[in-house]
Amino acid sequence: MITVFLLTWPLLAALLLFVLKPGNAKVFALVASLVELVASIIMAFQFVKDDSVQFAVNISWIASLGINFYVGVDGISLLLVLLTTVIVPLIVLSSFSKTYEKQSTFYGLVLIMQMALIGVFVALDGFLFYLFWEMALIPIYFICLIWGGENRGVITLKFFIYTLAGSLVMLVALVYLYFQTPGSHTFDIQALYQAGRALSAYEQGLVFWAMFVAFAIKMPVFPFHTWQPDTYTTAPTQGTMLLSAIMLKMGIYGLIRWMIPLVPVGVMDWGFTAVVLSVIGIVYASCIAIVQKDVKRLVAYSSIAHVGLIAAGLLTLTATGIQGAMIQMLSHGILVFAMFYIVDIISDRTKTRSLAELGGIRNVAPVLSTVFIIVMLGSVALPITSGFVGEFLLIRSLVEYHFILGAVAGLTIILGAIYMLRTFQKSMSGETNSITSTFTDLTNHEKIVLYPIVILIFVIGIYPTPILEISEAATANIVNLFSAYADSIK
Amino acid sequence: MNALFIICGLGILSLVAEIANLKRWLTVFVMIGLVAAAALAVLDWGTTRSYFSDMVLFDDFAISFTTLILVASIFWFWMSGDYFSNQPHKTDRSALILFAITGAICMVSFNNMAMLFLGIEILSISLYVLAGSNKESLNSNEAAFKYFIMGSFATGFLLMGIALIYGATGSFNITKIAAHISSHIDSLPGFFYAGVLLMLVGMTFKISAVPFHFWAPDVYGGSPTTITAFMSTVVKIAAFGAFYKVFSFCFNSVHSSWVLVIQIMTVLTLVIPNVTAVYQNNIKRLLAYSSVGHVGYLLLAVVANSTGASGTILYYLTAYSAASLLAFTVLHILENAVANNELEGFNGLYKRNPWLAVSLTIAMLSLAGIPPLSGFFGKYMVFALALQQGYVGLVLLAVGTSLVGVYYYFKVIVAMFFKDLNGTFVSVTRSSQLMLGILVVLIFLLGLFPEWMITRFTIH
């Protein structure tokens, strides 16, 4: 039942916000999201670390079409649910210094978004998954459209149509599989797995591409990334955080849950192509990030590079790669959140995001500068930070998979260091100029947001085992599936 | 059947009301009558009865479509109260609408080609007049005239088709025609097929499928907004019901002779109106093209399964009508606030009245097929039906045109939320607020709990 609570609570809170329009919508949303966090922590403590689906609820919904409200959690889902419930209160808290127009609508949409994201991570029915997947798009679209920056009309529409195109193709693939299920057809995940695995290699290839394109657009993987930099830059900061810290994980989660076990032969036939695309994305996005002048855009491109590595490691289909992807998803979530928050703090105070105009912030804001260094080092995967564990596992899996690809992907660490250090140098070090001289250091509530992140960066970096243990059994399942397939080919 | 009598009676009452001086109470009275008629129609559910020497047949199909027509009409009367009160000849208009509804019910319950023709004519002649009911507007006059000329042509085709089919089969009764076709499948004369094609032209004109759609944008754009709402909901339901009945029940044995034509029309109806709608700056014309585009999805259902699609079609039409009525209600409320229904007039509507903006947004999202709204589920059922029969190519095309649809529906949303304020606050009456609220809830409920409707109204 706790799964249902996690889904209904944010929705209820959002509806209350829409109807009551409380004067202090921020506090209301914060309390709501903290309750959600507590619920998810209770869930994590009750979780048994095996590969079974737990806290499952299966209610018949549209019986005549074989659609059930079937939700449940395994290790992989649980980590992403936790990521969502941790990040959303931080996002709400990070907006405390701002006053959005029509704020109850704004926070209501954020909470609906949270509901849809959790729905995506716990859905075990193909139709339900699709429904949540699409529902996540609506609130973020309106958040970007109503509260976004310049030119948001065109940019958000491009984002919307781009992602919708991908998901509609995915829907066609899901319905196609649905009709392959026996009897009066069902969208149950296990039945879809059976149907998918029974397809011929050619059909599995088609389904692979239909699913991969949908997920690749969401992440985004090169060459489906063109919507991303504009959207991230234009969106209001809290929107960018939702998009980058949580929403792109929908794509990666989709790969793990709804593509890899679904069409294993298709994945083995086409996985290499997908890995190559992801690796191209890593290098390409890193190079563009190096020459960016706008900090927010720079972080957006760095996100493409990081996600490319996650996708590539994941598609090696090894335990190392998948576990690396899991831990890197969490690490990327908190790091990119912190990164965008710091960018927001800087641009709020200086009214500019241009690197050329900044400089010398370290002299006037040492605390911010220190936090920035820690986040940056996490981002370039320095040992004992959270970024290191994930990137190490991912690159190792890639090197074992294909040495040259692994080596190219490894460039991400060097290129990442270049653009990150350059950003630090241009904004934090150097002489204080007229724009930055009046810069004030972190306020208390900004510290409340950033300190937990700093702690998390180190905790995950130094002692990742508890997290890895949660998803271990579920990951092993996938790996076993593929070793069985590899054996059958031999 | 009783519903038909009640509505005829209401129509006559409307005409008498002028003399008896009941004008003030007329709209209320009509709405009560419509609710009673809908209730009586629902009570007949599960029975199959034919009346007037087999001229009309009220089976589950007819009853479900009749109910839908009546419910849409109730909402229509609710939204357009001031169309009657603010202009002269209230009783005439009210009577014309009621007769049009009578025609619509005949069109979904006919069992005889003559009754089909009568139904279409009763509906169309009322509409020709209503389209021109804004007498001072040049566009309204143009709409009426165009509609009349085009409509007459189509009726001519239809009548010629009926005559040829009568010549080949010796009957007007569709059950007998169907029986004759299946027993003489190899010896049907050539002119029988000509008759089928002529009827196809006539009927596709009425449902405004491409290439017989060109009247729709002008007529929809020129007519008073309330009448446009009526045409794109009640009339569309009736026309598609009749179309499905003719081709699914009557001509199903010669399926191969017409299905290719309909397939080509489906492709055209999916592509052309959806692409044309992108270039529209007038929201009424935009909705006109969108309404033609939706016919494409309905035709796709017919192509995929010409005998078992009635449940899907009914659901789709319900979802479509709910969203259309919602959109047109907002348009009607804004008629005085937005000049000529140009898209720029909607700029910043969110700040002028958030409720109207949110309602129109939900209507657009549902028409665009975004989950969890009912419009999505309607499209989903059509796509699933087509995929089940292996029409992957057509489904992918329909997916593509849905995306184009998203683009133009979202143009309206972007204007409302993103563009700068244009004009002052718009106030909405309590009654309109309530109606908007009910339609919004309905669109959500239909989308979230489609099971109720699918299982109850799947007609075999």
Can you tell me the distance from the alpha carbon of A152 to that of A392, in angstroms, rounded to the nearest whole number?
38
**Shortest CA gap A115–chain B (Å):** 14
Closest C-alpha among B13, B34, B141, B18 to residue B77: B34
Chain A environment of B402 (Cβ under 8 Å): 168
**Shortest CA gap A175–chain B (Å):** 6
In this complex, the residue of A135, A160, A165 whose CB is nearest that of residue B371 is A135
Span B276-327, pLDDT tens digits = 999 998 888 999 999 999 999 999 999 988 888 888 899 999 999 999 999 9
In this complex, the residue of A61, A130, A172 whose CB is nearest that of residue B395 is A172
**Shortest CA gap A359–chain B (Å):** 34
Q: What is the largest CA-CA distance in chain B?
A: 70
Chain B environment of A169 (Cβ under 8 Å): 399
| pLDDT recorded at residue B71 | 94
| For range B423-448, the mean pLDDT | 88
Neighbours of A254 (CB within 10 A): 23
- Is B214 near chain A, with CB under 8 Å? no
- Contacts of A282-285 with C-beta under 8 Å, sequence gap 24+, read A282/A308, A282/A309, A282/A312, A282/A408, A282/A409, A282/A411, A282/A412, A283/A408, A283/A411, A283/A412, A283/A415, A284/A222, A285/A222, A285/A225
Q: Is B276 helix (H, G, I), strand (E, B) or coil?
A: helix
Is A172 close to B350, i.e. CB distance below 8 A?
no
Span B222-236, pLDDT tens digits = 888 899 999 999 999
| pLDDT recorded at residue A288 | 92
| pLDDT recorded at residue B422 | 63
Please give the residue that has the higher pLDDT: either B459 or A129.
A129
Q: What are phi and psi of A59, to 5 degrees?
A: -115, 135
Whether residue B457 has pLDDT greater than 80: no
Closest C-alpha among B108, B150, B122 to residue B1: B108
In this complex, the residue of A65, A165, A176 whose CB is nearest that of residue B403 is A165
Average pLDDT score over chain A: 89
Neighbours of B422 (CB within 10 A): 17
| For range A7-35, the mean pLDDT | 90
Is A145 close to B419, i.e. CB distance below 8 A?
no
Structural Rg of chain B based on CA atoms: 21
| pLDDT recorded at residue B42 | 87
Can you tell me the distance from the alpha carbon of B326 to that of B319, in angstroms, rounded to the nearest whole number?
11
- Is B191 near chain A, with CB under 8 Å? no
Chain A environment of B458 (Cβ under 8 Å): 64
Neighbours of A425 (CB within 10 A): 12
Q: Which two tokens mark A210?
A: 């239909």
In this complex, the residue of A62, A146, A157 whose CB is nearest that of residue B451 is A62
| pLDDT recorded at residue B108 | 93
Closest C-alpha among A305, A376, A310 to residue A339: A376
**Shortest CA gap A447–chain B (Å):** 33
| pLDDT recorded at residue B389 | 87
Can you tell me the distance from the alpha carbon of B223 to that of A342, in angstroms, rounded to the nearest whole number?
56
- Is B445 near chain A, with CB under 8 Å? no
CA-based nearest residue in chain B for residue A164: B403
Can you tell me the distance from the alpha carbon of A415 to that of A438, in angstroms, rounded to the nearest whole number?
32
Span A118-129, pLDDT tens digits = 999 999 999 999
Quick one: how far is CA A245 from the chain centroid?
A: 5
| pLDDT recorded at residue B439 | 94
Residue from B312, B385, B403, B411 whose CB has the most chain A CBs within 10 Å, to mutate: B403
**Shortest CA gap A417–chain B (Å):** 38
Residue from B300, B377, B451, B460 whose CB has the most chain A CBs within 10 Å, to mutate: B451
Residue from B406, B412, B421, B444 whose CB has the most chain A CBs within 10 Å, to mutate: B406
Contact B432, B79 (CB under 8 A): yes
| For range B427-453, the mean pLDDT | 89
Whether residue B254 has pLDDT greater than 60: yes
Q: What is the largest CA-CA distance in chain A?
A: 73
Q: Which two tokens mark A313?
A: 């490691």
Span B384-424, pLDDT tens digits = 889 888 898 999 999 999 999 999 999 888 888 877 776 77
| pLDDT recorded at residue B317 | 94
Chain B environment of A138 (Cβ under 8 Å): 365, 370
Span B87-100, pLDDT tens digits = 777 788 888 999 99
In the structure, what pLDDT confidence band is assigned to residue A490 with cuts at 50, 70 and 90? Answer: low
| pLDDT recorded at residue B458 | 58
Whether residue B85 has pLDDT greater than 90: no
**Shortest CA gap B284–chain A (Å):** 22
Is A168 close to B407, i.e. CB distance below 8 A?
no
**Shortest CA gap B170–chain A (Å):** 42
Is B406 close to A146, i.e. CB distance below 8 A?
no
Q: Which two tokens mark B366?
A: 């549902």
In the structure, what pLDDT confidence band is assigned to residue A210 with cuts at 50, 70 and 90? Answer: very high
What part of A 310-349 touches B (C-beta under 8 Å)?
A: none
Residue from A17, A155, A172 whose CB has the most chain B CBs within 10 Å, to mutate: A172
Span A44-76, pLDDT tens digits = 999 988 888 889 999 988 888 888 999 999 889
Is A61 close to B370, i.e. CB distance below 8 A?
no
| For range A144-152, the mean pLDDT | 85
Is A168 close to B454, i.e. CB distance below 8 A?
no
Is A178 close to B384, i.e. CB distance below 8 A?
yes
**Shortest CA gap A173–chain B (Å):** 10
Whether residue B460 has pLDDT greater than 50: no
Whether residue A106 has pLDDT greater than 60: yes
- Is A106 near chain B, with CB under 8 Å? no
| pLDDT recorded at residue B361 | 93
Residue from B394, B418, B460 whose CB has the most chain A CBs within 10 Å, to mutate: B418
**Shortest CA gap A161–chain B (Å):** 7
In this complex, the residue of B365, B418, B451 whose CB is nearest that of residue A152 is B418
Span A424-438, pLDDT tens digits = 888 888 888 877 777
In the structure, what pLDDT confidence band is assigned to residue B456 with cuts at 50, 70 and 90? Answer: low
In this complex, the residue of B372, B418, B458 whose CB is nearest that of residue A131 is B372
Residue from A15, A175, A234 whose CB has the most chain B CBs within 10 Å, to mutate: A175
| For range A386-399, the mean pLDDT | 90
Can you tell me the distance from the alpha carbon of A194 to that of B154, in angstroms, rounded to the nearest whole number?
52
| For range B370-388, the mean pLDDT | 90
- Is A65 near chain B, with CB under 8 Å? yes
Chain A environment of B451 (Cβ under 8 Å): 61-65
- Is A171 near chain B, with CB under 8 Å? yes
- Is B402 near chain A, with CB under 8 Å? yes
Span B140-197, pLDDT tens digits = 899 999 999 999 999 999 999 999 999 999 899 999 999 999 998 888 898 999 999 9
Closest C-alpha among A121, A124, A206 to residue A169: A206
Q: What are phi and psi of A421, to 5 degrees?
A: -65, -35
| For range A164-191, the mean pLDDT | 90
Dihedral class, residue B340 (left if φ above 0, else alpha if ψ from -120 to 50, else beta): left
Percent of chain B, pLDDT > 90?
Answer: 52
- Is B403 near chain A, with CB under 8 Å? yes
- Is A161 near chain B, with CB under 8 Å? yes
3-state secondary structure chain A: CHHHHHHHHHHHHHHHHHHHCCCCHHHHHHHHHHHHHHHHHHHHHHCCCCCCCEEEEEEEEEHHHCEEEEEEECHHHHHHHHHHHHHHHHHHHHCCCCCCCCHHHHHHHHHHHHHHHHHHHHECEHHHHHHHHHHCHHHHHHHHHHHCCCCHHHHHHHHHHHHHHHHHHHHHHHHHHHCCCCCCCCCEHHHHHHHHHCCCHHHHHHHHHHHHHHHHHHCCCCCCCCCHHHHHHHCCHHHHHHHHHHHHHHHHHHHHHHHCCCCHHHHHHHHHHHHHHHHHHHHHHHHHHHCCCEHHHHHHHHHHHHHHHHHHHHCCCCHHHHHHHHHHHHHHHHHHHHHHHHHHHHHHHHCCCEHHHCCCHHHHCHHHHHHHHHHHHHHCCCCCCHHHHHHHHHHHHHHHHCHHHHHHHHHHHHHHHHHHHHHHHHHCCCCCCCCCCCCCCCCHHHHHHHHHHHHHHHHHHHCCHHHHHHHHHHHHHHHHHHHHHHHHHC
| pLDDT recorded at residue A24 | 85
- Is B43 near chain A, with CB under 8 Å? no
Rounded to a whole number, what is the distance in angstroms from the first to the last CA of chain B? Answer: 21
HSE (side-chain half, CA atoms, 13 Å) at A134: 24
Rounded to a whole number, what is the distance in angstroms from the first to the last CA of chain A? Answer: 45
Dihedral class, residue B57 (left if φ above 0, else alpha if ψ from -120 to 50, else beta): beta
| pLDDT recorded at residue A353 | 85
Span B47-76, pLDDT tens digits = 888 888 888 998 888 999 999 999 999 999
CA-based nearest residue in chain A for residue B399: A168
- Is A164 near chain B, with CB under 8 Å? yes
What part of A 353-382 touches B (C-beta under 8 Å)?
A: none
| pLDDT recorded at residue B351 | 82
CA-based nearest residue in chain A for residue B372: A131
Span B181-220, pLDDT tens digits = 999 888 889 899 999 999 999 999 999 998 898 889 999 9
Q: Which two tokens mark B222?
A: 């020129």
From residue A281, how far is each of A277, A303, B111 by CA, in Å?
Answer: 6, 10, 64
Can you tell me the distance from the alpha carbon of B284 to that of B223, in angstroms, rounded to the nearest whole number?
10
